[in-house]
A and B are shown apart, each in its own frame.
Chain A
Amino acid sequence: MSDLTKLTVAQARDALRKGETTSLELSDACLTAIEGAGALNAFVHNTPELARDQAKDADARLQAREAPALCGIPMGIKDLFCTKGVPSQAASNILGGFTPEYESTVSQQLFDAGAVMLGKLNMDEFAMGSSNETSCYGNAVNPWRRAGDDTPLTPGGSSGGSASAVAADLCLAATGTDTGGSIRQPAAFVGITGIKPTYGRCSRWGIVAFASSLDQAGPMTKDVRDAAIVLQAMCGHDPKDSTSADLAVPDFEAALTGDIRGKVIGIPREYRMDGMPDEIEALWSRGREMLQDAGAQIRDISLPHTKYALPAYYVIAPAEASSNLARYDGVRYGHRASLAAGEGITEMYEKTRAEGFGLEVQRRVMIGTYVLSAGFYDAYYNRARRVRTLIKKDFEDVFATGVDAILTPATPSAAFGLGEMTDADPVQMYLNDVFTVTVNLAGLPGVAIPAGLDAQGLPLGLQLIGRPWEEGDLLNTAYALEQAVGFVAKPSKWW
């Protein structure tokens, strides 16, 4: 078979089961593609030996006709997941040399389902960023370029390496994580599908923590069907994560009928932002029309606290990060600064953290420290948690009126150039997450799918937000929209 790396997960699964190819062939094709794609800087720790071993095991299972859904499918794993015996650094120098003795629950479940790991993927340091420019490995690069322009573009963040790798056909699917939009924004920037499930669907055990009440893992894939297949394998209750939901995981792929007749789709007026590019507005209108043509009922809705989501997020996420990242002290793992004569343990902590954390991580840890400090806890942290309650209630009120899903743009712009935001203040970068962050605060599932190209030939995405625990229904709506959009564009290979 030619062009093995261009297969979707579903196509590869069927080809493997029919014996038309083997996992070893498929994995080797991906490993070759990765070797030729150094310019994208998507894979940062390659694991070819592990991949070939896993592929051989998968081929044996396929031979024995005991092949689960992902059997033999080559994937990339975001560097935020701890993978046994393979460096797992969260793209931070402070975890330099860290090699976990254990496997994260999600990656273990993928391996149990037969997936093959090709390597670890680039990301923003500790998942803090929207452009993959805070990584200790350097920038990941978007395989897309503006028409007639060689400017390197961001693949988005924080799951930038995952996005770049899937869009460039270096792997069939990848894992991502999403705290404020880190799966959906990069998926939109590279023209692929990414879903953040309901908070509690995927175990967080073994995933380096950023903001524990917001973090969720999810798949980044070439289409909606693949998202359903990979998400299925990632989800499920885990006694090792006390916030993991003890709920049965339905068959997500079986939910993809494409029939959304009678579904009620909400269009939130607060997502029509001042200064939003006309192209995004037009894309959103087209999405609305397509869902209507597919038989859905469109309803204008209001989510009144939307504008307060980003400020609430930039209190809550740094607060949780400052607490979670307190563990990086140079004692148990990772980097430890060398000390001058007379320096003691406090200097060790301070120097280790100054050397090990990048500037954005330092900034967020200190903001979190400030909002949690005596005298400001009520004014900032408790107030933000109250606003979070109101944001969640906005969604509950809308769902209570019979709305099944909510359609919004995925991002306020197409992918921007690497370095273009360097001189902007941090808040400008934070605005990338304006459409996605509400979903994390409310714990809801959200999916981004490619929906068109802008005037410069770059992909743009739409987001659908679903009711809690109804990823199957949400994916089906996304599937119907995907069918209507018919997005087939791919980046031209320059790397």
Chain B
Amino acid sequence: MSIDTKTAAKVAKLARIRVEDDALPALAQEFNTILGFIEQLQEVDVDGVEPMVSVTPMRLKRRSDEVTDGDQQGKVLSNAPDSREGFFAVPKVVE
């Protein structure tokens, strides 16, 4: 399994991280080093072994479905890079 610059570019796109073209070969090389390390996992016999979902055998707690919080619009927006009229503002999404 080897990652080429095209795959590296695709992964960067999926991760929504801009990577300049001239940085892609080095990135692909790092991916290959890390994936080479991970490759050892293929040696392990995992037949019939369940993938771990929860490290502690606990039942997820339940509570009644009721509103316990709210009316904090100002606080929610206080760290926004751009907010207008009580909303988060972003560049135009729909033409």
Which residues of A line the B interface, CB within 8 A? 97-101, 198-200, 213, 239, 242-243, 245-246, 305, 307-308, 310-312, 314-315, 322, 326, 329-336, 339, 343-351, 353-354, 357, 362-363, 365-367, 369-371, 373, 380, 382-390, 392, 425-427, 430, 441-443, 468
Contact with A along B25-50 (1 / 0, CB 8 A): 00100110111011111111010011
Q: How far is the CB of A154 from chain B (nearest CB, A)?
A: 21
Q: Are A425 and B30 in contact (CB under 8 A)?
A: yes
Give CA–CA (A365, B18) in the complex, Å. 12
Chain B residues lying within 8 Å of A198, measured Cβ to Cβ, are 56
Asked if B84 CB lies within 8 Å of chain A CBs, one says no
Give CA–CA (A365, B30) in the complex, Å. 13
Q: Are A365 and B91 in contact (CB under 8 A)?
A: no
Q: How far is the CB of A302 from chain B (nearest CB, A)?
A: 16
Q: How far is the CB of B25 from chain A (nearest CB, A)?
A: 14
Asked if B60 CB lies within 8 Å of chain A CBs, one says yes
Shortest beta-carbon contacts, A-B, top 4: A443-B55, A385-B51, A336-B81, A333-B79
Chain B residues lying within 8 Å of A200, measured Cβ to Cβ, are 56, 58
Q: How far is the CB of A388 from chain B (nearest CB, A)?
A: 4
Residue pairs across A and B with Cβ atoms less than 8 A apart, 18 shown, are A101-B76, A198-B56, A239-B63, A310-B37, A311-B41, A331-B80, A332-B79, A334-B81, A348-B91, A350-B16, A357-B17, A362-B15, A363-B30, A367-B34, A370-B3, A383-B41, A386-B44, A425-B30
Given contacts A307-B40, A354-B19, A363-B30, 4 further A-B contacts (CB under 8 A): A199-B56, A245-B56, A362-B17, A370-B11
The verdict on A366 contacting B15 (CB below 8 Å), with A314-B38, A333-B79, A334-B81 known, is yes
Q: Are A383 and B14 in contact (CB under 8 A)?
A: no
Chain A residues lying within 8 Å of B52, measured Cβ to Cβ, are 385-386, 388-389, 392
Q: How far is the CB of A337 from chain B (nearest CB, A)?
A: 9
Chain A residues lying within 8 Å of B31, measured Cβ to Cβ, are 366-367, 370
Q: How far is the CB of B47 from chain A (nearest CB, A)?
A: 9
Question: DSSP class of A's interface residues: helix, strand, loop or mixed?
Answer: helix
Chain B residues lying within 8 Å of A335, measured Cβ to Cβ, are 81
Q: How far is the CB of A200 from chain B (nearest CB, A)?
A: 5
The verdict on A322 contacting B40 (CB below 8 Å), with A331-B90, A335-B81, A344-B92 known, is no
Question: Could you tell me how many residues of chain B have their Cβ less than 8 Å away from some Cβ of chain A?
Answer: 51
Q: Are B80 and A389 in contact (CB under 8 A)?
A: no
Q: How far is the CB of B31 from chain A (nearest CB, A)?
A: 7
Q: Are A101 and B75 in contact (CB under 8 A)?
A: yes
Asked if B78 CB lies within 8 Å of chain A CBs, one says yes
Q: Are A366 and B81 in contact (CB under 8 A)?
A: no
The verdict on A353 contacting B18 (CB below 8 Å), with A98-B79, A367-B34 known, is yes
Give CA–CA (A345, B15) in the complex, Å. 14
Give CA–CA (A175, B35) in the complex, Å. 33
Chain A residues lying within 8 Å of B63, measured Cβ to Cβ, are 239
The verdict on A373 contacting B14 (CB below 8 Å), with A345-B93, A380-B38, A426-B33 known, is yes
The verdict on A427 contacting B58 (CB below 8 Å), with A329-B16, A331-B90, A383-B41 known, is no
Chain B residues lying within 8 Å of A371, measured Cβ to Cβ, are 38
Give CA–CA (A307, B37) in the complex, Å. 11
Give CA–CA (A430, B31) in the complex, Å. 14
Q: How far is the CB of A310 from chain B (nearest CB, A)?
A: 8
Give CA–CA (A442, B76) in the complex, Å. 36
Among B34, B40, B82, B91: residue with most chain A CB under 10 A: B34
Q: Are B37 and A334 in contact (CB under 8 A)?
A: no
Q: Are A315 and B92 in contact (CB under 8 A)?
A: no
Give CA–CA (A249, B42) in the complex, Å. 40
Q: Are B91 and A345 in contact (CB under 8 A)?
A: yes
Q: How far is the CB of A94 from chain B (nearest CB, A)?
A: 11
Q: Are A349 and B56 in contact (CB under 8 A)?
A: no
Give CA–CA (A239, B14) in the complex, Å. 34
Q: How far is the CB of B32 from chain A (nearest CB, A)?
A: 10
Q: Which residue of B lies closest to A388 (CB)?
A: B52
Q: Which residue of B lies closest to A333 (CB)?
A: B79
Q: Are A99 and B79 in contact (CB under 8 A)?
A: yes
